[in-house]
């Protein structure tokens, strides 16, 4: 397997060299909207530590990315009034990976609506900005220990 390329596009986003529609950040993870979403609210969750994919990431970093992915999935259910979530994660070109910094796709789904094909359409900047704001707000509710905005009393986004 090739080694990690520090000039991949997501590494540049993590370093702030390229812009992104951020929805969540902590000391170990960063999450932002996919610019070619397969459904509204399509989010990518990354470890900050360099890793190509699950084949070279540390077990602890991967476990933490999954914890944050769960939290974002729960908040996305509320923010996008979703009926379900599709989670995807690709490893190496043969496994469908295009950008070689580990990321988990969180895709909010509506019943009966198919996902768009991958990389089919770039979303408008104002739409992405609005969606990022909505999801970040739902997540902020979660990190405060309160239910996501609009969520049922007693609901929780869980860890971390």
Chain residues that interact with ligand 5GP, rule: CB under 6 A = 9, 20, 32, 34-36, 90, 96-99, 103, 118-119
Nearer to ligand 5GP, 2 or 145 (CB): 2
119: number of CA atoms within 13 Å, CB side? 4
Structure tokens at 13: 């986003």
Q: Supply the DSSP symbol for 58.
A: -
Nearer to ligand 5GP, 35 or 49 (CB): 35
CB of 58 to ligand 5GP, least distance (A): 20
CB of 151 to ligand 5GP, least distance (A): 26
* List of E strands, 48-110: 84-88, 104-109
Q: What is the dihedral of CA 87, 25, 65, 148, to 10 degrees?
A: -60
Residue 103: active-site member: yes
Nearer to ligand 5GP, 94 or 98 (CB): 98
Residue 56 class from Cβ within 10 Å (0-12 exposed, 13-18 middle, 19+ buried)?
middle
CB of 47 to ligand 5GP, least distance (A): 14
Could you give the residue numbers annotated as active site? 103
């Amino acid at each position: 397997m090739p080694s990690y390329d520090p000039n991949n596009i997501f590494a540049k986003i993590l370093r702030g060299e390229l812009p992104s529609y951020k929805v969540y950040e902590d000391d170990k993870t960063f999450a932002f909207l996919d610019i070619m979403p397969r459904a509204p609210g399509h989010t990518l969750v990354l470890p900050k530590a360099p890793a190509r994919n699950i084949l070279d990431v540390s077990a602890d970093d991967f476990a933490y990315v999954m914890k944050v992915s769960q939290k974002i999935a729960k908040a996305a259910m509320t923010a996008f009034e979703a009926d379900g979530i599709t989670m995807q994660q690709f490893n190496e070109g043969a496994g469908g990976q295009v950008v070689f910094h580990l990321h988990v796709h969180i895709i909010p789904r509506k019943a009966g609506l198919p996902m768009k094909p991958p990389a089919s359409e770039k979303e408008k900047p104002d739409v992405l900005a609005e969606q990022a704001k909505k999801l970040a707000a739902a997540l902020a509710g979660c990190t405060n220990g309160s239910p996501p905005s609009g969520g049922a009393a007693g609901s929780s986004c869980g860890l971390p």
